[in-house]
Every structure is written in structure tokens, then in C-alpha cells.
Amino acid sequence: MRTRALLTALLVSVTAIACSPPSAEDLVSGVIATRNQFEVSLSSWIDRDAETTQPWLYLDVAVVKNSEAQLTRLTVLVEQLDANNAVLASQRVPIDVSDMDVRGLSKTYGLEVRPMAAGVEGVRLVIEPNPSEDTWGEFPELDRVRPRGR
């Protein structure tokens, strides 16, 4: 009888552990894994400085979704490069990808990057594969899952 009670208690505790909700860190890891299944490439870019006091860049960005999982936003690091491919400036820019619902889908999005650094000769896009915890606030796709205060 004792053995049966002990076995039942053990089974209940294992089941409770297996059914516990995922931690915030697990949820963040899941979103990051989904982000890493997207691809971005620069189709074209143009500087827009003629009509404004603050020059800016307009980018045509091709995004490919290689996942069944959904994201509403995909944050990419936009690096502005000089003639020697040295980074002049960089910033994270979110793309609204909520309309990409089919795996293998490719779509082109227009992005505005402000301000444009002086001497820009090229642009590189990066999906950061493992953003550090201190930058999670710059990734809107993590807003719903990241622990409060991080």
C-alpha cells in the first residue's frame, strides 16, 4: 500500500512538472528561435537628402519566412557602411511581418532609416541570432514574452 501511495505521489509530481508553464526565458528563447528562421536581404537602397534637412535612407528589403511559427515583428540590425565596409552607424529597425502567414513566403518591405550617416556607401542587414538580454527592449517581437524590467 505504501509503495502504491509513493508511486502515485511520484507520478503526480512528475506530471505537475511536465505540465508547468514555460518560463519567460523559455518563451524568449522560442521567439528568438523563430526569428532565426527568417532571412532578410537588401534588394535596393537610396539616400533621400534632397527634400529634407535630415538625410535618411529608404531600403527595399526582401524577407523570407522559413517557419510555421508566427511573428508580428522582425527586428533587423541596419548597418550603414563606408567605402571600406566599416560600420559608420547602426540601428535596429522593426519590420511588421504579421502578414506573412505561409512558410516559404517571400515579401518585400520598404524601410525608412533615419538619420543617414555621412559618407554612406553601402548598407548591410543582419538578423542578430542571439541578442543579449540587455538589448531585449529594442526587439518589439519580444515585448509579450520577456520578463518585466528586462
Is residue 28 situated within a structural domain? Answer: no
Q: How far apart are the C-alpha atoms of 83 and 119, rounded to whole Å?
A: 8
Asked if 62 and 110 touch (Cβ cutoff 8 Å), the reply is: no
Is residue 29 situated within a structural domain? Answer: no
Q: What is the pLDDT of residue 146?
A: 72
**150, pLDDT greater than 90:** no
> Cα–Cα distances in Å, from 40 out to 28, 69, 78, 120?
21, 17, 11, 20
Q: How far apart are the C-alpha atoms of 91 and 99, rounded to whole Å?
A: 24
Strand, coil or helix: 80: strand
How confident is the prediction for the chain on average, in pLDDT?
Answer: 86
Q: What is the pTM of this model?
A: 0.81
Residues of the chain above pLDDT 90, percent: 64
Is residue 12 situated within a structural domain? Answer: no
Minimum mean pLDDT among 16-25, 31-40, 113-122: which range? Answer: 16-25
Place of cell 527595399: 60
Is residue 51 situated within a structural domain? Answer: yes
Q: What is the pLDDT of residue 1?
A: 54
Q: What is the pLDDT of residue 117?
A: 92
Q: What is the pLDDT of residue 101?
A: 84
Q: 120 pLDDT band (50/70/90 cuts)?
A: very high
Q: 7 pLDDT band (50/70/90 cuts)?
A: very low
**114, pLDDT greater than 80:** yes
Is residue 13 situated within a structural domain? Answer: no
pLDDT tens-digit map of 8-17: 545 555 444 5
CATH code, domain carrying 93:
2.60.40
- Number of compact structural domains in the chain: 1
Asked if 150 and 135 touch (Cβ cutoff 8 Å), the reply is: no
Q: Which domain holds residue 125?
A: 38-129+136-143
Strand partners, 42: 61
Q: What is the pLDDT of residue 18?
A: 55
pLDDT tens-digit map of 24-60: 788 889 999 999 999 999 999 998 876 678 899 999 9
Is residue 65 situated within a structural domain? Answer: yes
Is residue 3 situated within a structural domain? Answer: no
